[in-house]
Structure 1
Amino acid sequence: MFTGIIEEIGTIESVKKGASSAVLRIQALKIMDDIHLGDSIAVNGVCLTVTTISTAGFASDVMHETMNRSSLGSLRMGSPVNLERAMPATGRFGGHIVSGHIDGTGTILNIQRDDNAIWYKIKTPLPVLRYIIEKGSIAIDGISLTVANVYKDSFDVSIIPHTALFTTLAKRRVGDLVNLENDCIGKYVERLMGKETQSNNITAEFLAQNGF
């Protein structure tokens, strides 16, 4: 479990690719104070397991499914990555509930400055966009952000100077691919509603007619 509050920007030291998988070696500093084998680390929003530890960082295996569903396959030596350790039970939810299991990717369509803010317009397929709502939460490359606007094939977010300084989003350019994870609540509600519809004939129209 993560919160989408980035702790550190790490650097890809090496990428060792297999036929359909990879091993990432990541240089880090701050998070190394409390890291152990088997720990979960969100790397650009993707939950990875620490498999080896060195004085300068750690390594993680990336399986075929993760390569296909995320932007991790495009990482190269020297690429900056957002890092967040799993939240301890005594920690604070500074962002929102983030699982590290991304739903898909998006492409940056436009970047525009607005005084001290930076606006990003991101295009994403309908299966991901359907769970994105205005003023709702979304994790972009592991960063907890609030959705400002939703369109038929894209959405907007805006970041403050602090987020630009302490995450990789300010380094992104138009055309870049980003990892997206929707707020998990909507997906669970849809799944449960689907089961109720099949068993009890409860539909969206029925709920609307009865004041829900």
Structure 2
Amino acid sequence: MFTGIVEELGEVVAREDLTDAARFTVRGPLVTSDASHGDSIAVNGVCLTVVDVLADGSFTADVMKETLDRSSLTRIGVGSRVNLERAAALGSRLGGHLVQGHVDGTGHVVSRSPSENWEVVRIALPDSISRYVVEKGSITVDGVSLTVSALGGDKGDEYFEISLIPTTLEMTTLGGTEVGSPVNLEVDVIAKYVERLNGASG
């Protein structure tokens, strides 16, 4: 379980493509400072299991084909910057919202509208998860916990907007994500449970 509060901007330093998976080596001195084999680290919002922790502050993780197919990790390579977060510890503050690290779908950046104190980013919303997204609700974009500031579009062409403060622009990959780029999306898990329970009771 994560909170969507990015701890560190890491960098992919190696990628090995296998038959039905890929092995990534990611440099992140902060998140590896207390990491060990089997720990969970979110990479751009995808929960990955640490295989090895290396002396240079890097860790390796295996990503299966299913995860590559369902997330934007399939497009990252050596030199890519990634958002990193260690799993939340019991008793720690919950600064964002409950995040599982299970990507529900990918969207893409439609537009960026900068202003003096923040930047509004519009992201295409896949039909498969649009029903779970509400204005002022929580959503995770590439591992960053954010509040939906607006919704719009027609069925099949919906979007949502997020307003990014300077800190988020500076400390996460969202500051440099270009128009057209894919992003990992995870909706609030509570919405999915409510839908399931309502279906069961009906």
Normalization by structure 1: what TM-score?
Answer: 0.91
Aligned equivalent of 2:73: 72
Aligned equivalent of 1:207: none
How many angstroms does 1:30 deviate by? 1.2
Q: Cα deviation per residue 1:49-71 (whole Å; 9 max; x = unaligned)? A: 00011012100000111011100
Aligned equivalent of 1:97: 98
Q: Which of 177, 180, 187 lines up with 1:182 in the alignment? A: 187
d(CA) in 2 for partners of 1:74, 1:118: 25
How many angstroms does 1:32 deviate by? 1.9
d(CA) in 2 for partners of 1:85, 1:137: 20
Structure 1 unmatched runs, 5+ = 198-212
Structure 2 unmatched runs, 5+ = none
How many angstroms does 1:20 deviate by? 2.8
Alignment of 1:136-155 (within 5 A): 136-152=137-153, 153-155=158-160
Alignment identity in percent? 46
Larger radius of gyration: 1
Normalization by structure 2: what TM-score?
Answer: 0.96
Aligned equivalent of 1:156: 161
SS in structure 1 of the partner of residue 100 of structure 2: coil
d(CA) in 1 for partners of 2:33, 2:21: 28
Aligned equivalent of 2:9: 9
d(CA) in 2 for partners of 1:125, 1:36: 36
d(CA) in 2 for partners of 1:71, 1:120: 18
How many angstroms does 1:144 deviate by? 0.3
Aligned equivalent of 1:131: 132
How many angstroms does 1:5 deviate by? 0.3
Higher helix share: 1
Q: CA RMSD in A?
A: 0.8
Amino acid at match of 1:171: G
d(CA) in 2 for partners of 1:51, 1:79: 20
Higher strand share: 2
d(CA) in 2 for partners of 1:155, 1:20: 33
Q: Cα deviation per residue 1:30-83 (whole Å; 9 max; x = unaligned)? A: 112211110000000000000011012100000111011100000010000000
Task: Give aligned pairs, total.
Answer: 197
Alignment of 1:16-55 (within 5 A): 16-55=16-55
How many angstroms does 1:19 deviate by? 2.5
SS in structure 1 of the partner of residue 49 of structure 2: strand
